[in-house]
Amino acid sequence: MSSTEALEVTVTAPIASFRNPLYQGIQVGLPCPPPSTVGGMLAATVGDWESVPGNTRFAMTFSAEGSGIDLETYHPAATKAASRNATIKDRHFLTHITLTTWLLQDLDMWEQAIRTPVWPLRLGRSQDLATARTRRVHLTPGGTGTQGHALIPHATRPDPAVRNNGEQMQLPTAITLDRARTAWGTYRYAHTASPAQIPADYTTPDGQALVLLPPTHPHTALATA
């Protein structure tokens, strides 16, 4: 069977935090970054969204070795000055994280951008810096593979024989530049790694199923609004 060349990007960080935007006024953490967050990180490497091809898609896996809760100063957005007073909130965070993404198009552009990013590499909060490394890999189109730590669309058919098919979540896929509109998607993610076999767009040599996520470009949010 023929293979497809892809760019594998592995991002690591000692700490990361992903706030669930469905909750207002409290800090509730997500177990993995939403597609919009990963797309924004990629856009930062090339400088801005205008430099990102509109049809860019990626598959991703994510894992964290630990988690915890600390305190963070929270500044509410409010029209009345009295309501904008800083307060202290619990913040959920993840430790020793590894995000791996696979890009199938514009490999030379992304490889150069990630090696010499325009903006410092961040994942999640602006103060949480990350590092990245890239390599060219060959993937097998189609077939089935292990779900593992992959973030996948909820519509991806689960293995009925496996109970751990992951948590269902509503996550932002794309956000307009003015942050006025958000395109949401339903996804599944198993933070303990699911052994389920699922249909894949591509599989890695070690059997990881890769399912391409929808485009994260801001114009996607405009198109679906």
Q: Average the pLDDT over each of 7-21, 25-39, 105-119 and give the range with the smallest value.
A: 25-39
Question: Residue 77: what pLDDT?
Answer: 62
> In the numeric block, which tokens belong to residue 3?
């293979």
Q: How far apart are the C-alpha atoms of 105 and 55, rounded to whole Å?
A: 9
pLDDT at 92 over 90: no
Mean pLDDT over residues 131-150, rounded?
A: 97
Q: Once rounded to an integer, what is the mean pLDDT over residues 151-164?
A: 86
Percentage above 70 pLDDT, the chain: 92
Better pLDDT: 54 or 76: 54
Residue 77: both structure tokens together:
């957005």
Q: What is the pLDDT of residues 55-82, one digit of tens each?
A: 999 999 999 999 988 777 766 665 566 5
Sign (positive/negative) of CA torsion 75, 169, 175, 110?
Answer: positive
Closest CA to 147 of 200, 192, 194: 194
3-state class of 47 per DSSP? coil
